[in-house]
Structure 1
């Protein structure tokens, strides 16, 4: 029963975060959402810091699962584009979640777990999604599509492109009709891959393959 209550509290916290934002989250509001006492919240999480840490762990897990769910084909570059679409989709559908795990204005307990990925090869001590991206980079290098500048460094460059474009789209600078993906992120990523050694025709063909899979899936 204790595990079930904890699960309900985490689910409720995630819902409050997306609906009202982090600033609206409190022990009292979380308890009321589940229909329990504040003491139960403190028993399971210790403090608001514990609550936020638990929510971030849950959101990191969901984000990592969204990226890892992209199927592998015989075209690692097409798979990479599909992963980029999954990244963008998660961020746009869950903006508060995305800002909690990757934003700059986050609680100290979250910022303190972030690491210098150029040194450690890991983005944070909690996030597995960066390793999913590294694996995608490794596949593209192994296929001879891009040069090997070190998978963590290349993944960091790709992440910078995707995060920057998605953050600007979330802020409304590219509208709401998908122009950010069509006119900004996709061609920018093609240019990056070409700069990393891929042939433009092959990169564009991989993009077209990913786009067709995206349309077929209905996402």
Structure 2
């Protein structure tokens, strides 16, 4: 007889099942009955291990941020910190394109069964410094990258959090629109929208047009050499 799975194992299976259901059927598919069937358990498993669907959705969102952090963590720093910011944006984009339904839940854009994942007010310095939060951890990659560009003199002096938040807002907005289909489905938006956006943001934050353009070209060429053509 196989040993009974631990509570931790069951919770992990439920989260993985939730992510599969989201990917295959969208937020409408995320139901206690379907989750239980996915892991061969009763519907009580959701309530026993999470107390309800709300806590399960929160854990799915945390897993989304963990996966985003893992992908951002694969981006290696180079001698060009401005190029590294675009490379982080491309890694962010790839993460969302690979599973848009998961990230709609992660960022509170989707509410399965009316349940919206709990979000953190990142404008509060006290909150950012007092919480151990998966979203703050993921955002930290962009904060550190912004600091490197400021320290290198490419961006004018400014709080790195503020700079990172502006960059995040722009990149996330672009990705949201692309995933929704507004820029086609072949990745053309990267060349026509994202790269010019990154260049314009760099110039707006203090970089020269020539330097920003050069960094964007370095990043996209290195990304394509490693990852191949960009597409959905």
| TM-score, reference length from structure 1 | 0.91
Task: Give the Cα separation in 1 of the matches to 2:198 and 2:16.
Answer: 35
Deviation per residue, 1:82-112 (Å, 9 max, x gap): 101011111222111121122444456524x
Runs of 4+ in 1 over 6 A off after TM superposition: none
> Partner of 2:218 in structure 1?
209
- 97-106 or 86-95: which moved more? 97-106
> Partner of 2:17 in structure 1?
12
| Matched-pair contact (CA < 8 Å) for 1:17–1:96 | yes
Task: Give the Cα separation in 1 of the matches to 2:126 and 2:190.
Answer: 31
Change (3 A) 1:13 1:60: same
Change (3 A) 1:85 1:130: same
Query: What stretches of structure 1 of length at least 5 have no aligned partner?
Result: none
| Matched-pair contact (CA < 8 Å) for 1:66–1:87 | yes
| Matched-pair contact (CA < 8 Å) for 2:108–2:116 | no
Superposition map of 1:2-41 within 5 A: 2=6, 3-41=8-46
Task: Give the Cα separation in 1 of the matches to 2:110 and 2:100.
Answer: 14
| TM-score, reference length from structure 2 | 0.86
> Partner of 2:183 in structure 1?
174
Matched, 1:64 2:73: no
> Partner of 2:151 in structure 1?
142
Q: Among residues 122, 125, 132, which one is paired with 2:141 in the alignment? A: 132
- 137-146 or 34-43: which moved more? 34-43
Query: What stretches of structure 2 of length at least 5 have no aligned partner?
Result: none
CA-based RMSD of the aligned residues comes to: 2.1
Q: How many residues align?
A: 218
Task: Give the Cα separation in 2 of the matches to 1:53 and 1:118.
Answer: 21
- Matched residue SS, 1:136: helix
Change (3 A) 1:188 1:117: same
Q: Among residues 75, 80, 102, which one is paired with 1:75 in the alignment? A: 80
Change (3 A) 1:109 1:179: closer
| Matched-pair contact (CA < 8 Å) for 1:118–1:152 | no
